[in-house]
């Protein structure tokens, strides 16, 4: 399969390296506006493919218009987040980049899936959809938040991460909604495993999940490995029709509009189908509505000067 990665920064290159090891990837297209960067990175990966004994066609471009007939386009391009920034702080700067990419790449890749990971990802996925009108736009959403959520729960309980179920919905970032009603440990309610006050346990987990990205960025410069493995899982679920339940962003109706928002969803080659929503608590549903409004506000502020049709 042919996967195109737009943006050859740390995330783009790390994702390409990960995908080079995937058996179903036969072609990689790398794109970056920095002169000669994508071509140099592509050459480096050609050497890596020899060591891996894999025949993968790898090309580097400076213009997204040169990419054609991709099965999946992953958009990573944009300004990276600093430790003192929220994801929303990147909205105006990255909106122009995303609009240009959407306008340039869609014409020759109308049958492709488009995975948007540029932050703030929910607003940027909404923008990409508004420009292309493609029904194959997916945002990485709160899948990474969900991974961090499960990791923290497992660590606090001394359990295997494989034994933890549970999702985070809403916005990737400030308005993320931990769905405690979905949490189970080895199929049993969380309350049966927590020996301390449950409310305190939940508050500590939520605080840790919201602060962990800034802490990683502060000390190492960027979050890389967690994100790219999360993106790989989404890519596989779509292209290989694994139909996993992942918390990714898809269209969500709000009053007089639509935004991309994350809900636990079956992710397959047929698309993204939200599930479990009716089983959530009233409080969780209310918080999801608040997240949708926050995403819409970010989207409107970011695109005010873009003259969207």
Instruction: Of 226, 217, 211, give the one whose Cα is nearest residue 176.
Output: 211
Going from the first residue of the chain to its last (309 residues), give the mean pLDDT of each consecutive group of 10, the final group possibly shorter: 98 98 98 98 97 96 98 93 70 93 97 97 98 98 98 94 97 94 92 84 93 91 94 99 98 93 98 94 97 95 85
Which residues belong to CATH 3.40.50.720 in the chain? 2-139
Two tokens, residue 278: 């009716």
State the pLDDT at residue 84.
74
Residues that are catalytic: 172
Which residues belong to CATH 3.90.110.10 in the chain? 143-302
**What span, in angstroms and rounded, lies between the C-alpha atoms of 63 and 42?**
14
Radius of gyration for the chain, computed over Cα atoms and rounded to the nearest angstrom: 19
**What span, in angstroms and rounded, lies between the C-alpha atoms of 151 and 145?**
10
State the pLDDT at residue 85.
65
Q: How far is CA 223 from CA 136, 214, 245, in A?
A: 26, 9, 24
State the pLDDT at residue 255.
86
- Class of the CATH-defined domain 143-302: alpha beta
Q: What's the CATH superfamily of 2-139?
A: NAD(P)-binding Rossmann-like Domain (3.40.50.720)
8 Å CB contact between 87 and 120: yes
State the pLDDT at residue 87.
61
Handedness of CA 167, 170, 174, 180 (dihedral sign): negative
């Amino acid at each position: 399969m042919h996967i195109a990665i737009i943006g050859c920064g740390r995330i783009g290159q790390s994702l390409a390296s990960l995908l080079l090891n995937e058996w179903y990837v036969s072609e990689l297209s790398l794109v970056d506006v920095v002169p000669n960067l994508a071509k140099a990175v592509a050459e480096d990966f050609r050497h890596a493919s020899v060591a891996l004994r894999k025949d993968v066609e790898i090309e580097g471009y400076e213009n997204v218009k040169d990419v054609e007939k991709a099965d999946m386009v992953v958009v990573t391009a944009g300004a990276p987040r600093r430790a003192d920034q929220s994801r929303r702080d990147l909205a105006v700067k990255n909106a122009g980049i995303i609009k240009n990419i959407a306008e340039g790449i869609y014409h020759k890749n109308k049958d492709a899936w488009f995975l948007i990971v540029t932050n703030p990802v929910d607003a940027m996925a909404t923008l990409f959809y508004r420009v292309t009108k493609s029904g194959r736009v997916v945002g990485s959403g709160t899948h990474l938040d969900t991974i961090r959520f499960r990791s923290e729960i497992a660590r606090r309980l001394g359990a295997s991460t494989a034994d933890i179920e549970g999702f985070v919905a809403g916005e990737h970032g400030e308005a993320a909604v931990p769905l405690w009603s979905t949490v189970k440990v080895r199929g049993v309610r969380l309350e049966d495993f927590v020996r301390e006050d449950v409310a305190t346990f939940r508050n500590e987990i939520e605080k840790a999940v919201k602060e962990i990205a800034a802490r990683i960025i502060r000390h190492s410069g960027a979050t890389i490995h967690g994100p790219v493995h999360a993106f790989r899982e989404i890519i596989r679920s779509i292209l290989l029709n694994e139909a996993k339940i992942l918390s990714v962003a898809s269209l969500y109706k709000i009053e007089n509009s639509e935004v991309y928002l994350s809900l636990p969803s079956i992710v397959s080659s047929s698309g993204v189908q939200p599930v479990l929503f009716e089983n959530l608590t009233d409080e969780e549903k209310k918080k999801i509505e608040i997240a949708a409004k926050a995403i819409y506000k970010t989207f409107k502020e970011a695109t005010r000067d873009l003259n969207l049709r």
